[in-house]
Structure 1
């Protein structure tokens, strides 16, 4: 009887150990999730605050890097590559393999950027390299023809340098922060549009001075397709 109880106890201990190890492995292997805070809806919250500091190791490199005047991006080209303000940018080049995603291909260029001779431009750096299923949001451009003519408008694009509370005060952040927490990826380095390239990338705690705009996005109503007579 004691022998039987000993064997059963051993199996119980092994089973508990297995569940404990599996649960620990599962929890540590999970990606950081965007969990909205619902305690107080009046306070804007960054879902992943540590994203602000992800590229801080490159801050001093950016501050010492000479500006390539010939191959700078502009804010106009930055917005031209988007269907509307705030939309994920489209892919302006060919994608050879439709199943290529994230670290298989995209992140080889878009994680840290660099000059691409073929396009005579600097590769934009992604602010969210942990999201490797890039093709879920980014699609190739279809600029040769329209699907159906309609009355869709891109909406109002915030003017650069016109969103600070006082003359000389730090400008507010005019866009949402989810998936854009990594400030230096868009605001520093040679691929950053010249109009929004920060002059002090070494000050990596951006949210200490720059706060989100308090403008509330309103409902645009039901979309109505324009019917040509």
Structure 2
């Protein structure tokens, strides 16, 4: 009788453990956010929006390389006024008042091949910012209106910024407004020199650490 009681207690504890573990697992699969009631204040975390793109990471890993429409790192940097600047808009904009949700994000929200321009539209790393023209300007001329003496910062060299031989390269730029690493480092619109070989691993900062301080020796400052 005593043995039967011990066995019954063990079975009860086992069933309770399985039930609690199963419930915990189901809760882990639920969405991170509860639906907001009408009129309830909403806390906006802009960087959370970028994770919408991560549902396509397995598509990135299966995509064949399009040799005819690859974008090089030189083209990538030539489309910027300086290293770290927002890229300019390299195509005509029909409506000068066009904003993200109504125009830009139709192509740059999810990316894809644009037959009209015979190239791939890069994915924006910050689709939650819809006032695109606040930072991105159209190219009106290929020359400066007035010559300046501003020296451009040298762009980071590919493959030489690792802490140790064979270790993952560091992130050589700031990540503000660049929270979605896959926007520049994965897919057919990514420059071939910085295209990642493992886009399915979306937790990039687990291995790649931030080093966004660029130091340039400008010599002794003297006021003339």
TM-score category (smaller protein): 0.7 to 0.9
Deviation of residue 118 (structure 1)? Answer: 2.1
Q: Which residue of 1 aligns with 2:131?
A: 133
SS at match of 1:105: helix
Q: Which residue of 2 aligns with 1:184?
A: 182
Of 25, 31, 37, which aligns to 2:39? 25
Indicate if the aligned counterparts of 2:173 and 2:212 stay in contact, CA closer than 8 A.
Answer: no
Q: Tell me how large the CA RMSD over aligned residues is.
A: 2.3
Q: Please give the TM-score of this superposition, normalised by the length of structure 2.
A: 0.75
Alpha-carbon distance in 2 for matches of 1:118, 1:59: 26
How far does the alpha carbon of each residue in 1:81-106 deviate from its partner, in whole angstroms, 9 at most, with x for none? 00000000000111111111001100
Matched, 1:164 2:162: yes
Equivalent in the alignment of 2:58:
60
Count of residue correspondences: 182
Q: Distance in 1 between matches of 2:40 and 2:200?
A: 36
Measure, in 1, the Cα distance between the counterparts of 2:142 and 2:72: 23
Name the residue aligned to 2:113. 115
- SS of 1:195 mapped into structure 2: helix
Partner deviation per Cα, 1:46-87 (whole Å, 9 max, x = no partner) = xx4x46744221111000011101100011000000000000
> Are the equivalent residues in 2 in contact too, given 1:52–1:183 (CA < 8 A)?
no
- 1:212 corresponding residue in structure 2: 210
Note the alpha carbon deviations across 1:97-138, whole angstroms, 9 max, x for none.
111100110000001111112222101110000000000000
C-alpha distance 153-143 of structure 1, shift in aligned 2 (>3 A): farther
- Which whole-Å CA distance do the structure 2 matches of 1:176 and 1:32 have between them? 18
With a CA cutoff of 8 Å and minimum separation of 6, indicate the structure with the bigger relative contact order. Answer: 1
Alpha-carbon distance between aligned partners in 1 of 2:188 and 2:73, rounded to the nearest angstrom: 13
1:215 offset after TM fit, Å?
2.9
Match of 2:90 in 1: 92
Structure 2 residue runs without a partner (length 5+): 1-36, 219-224
Give the match for residue 101 of structure 2: 103
When normalised by structure 1's length, the TM-score is 0.73
Contact 1:53 1:205 in 2 (8 A): no
1:149 positional shift: 1.3
Q: Structure 1's 161 and 133: CA in aligned 2 closer, same or farther, altered over 3 A?
A: same
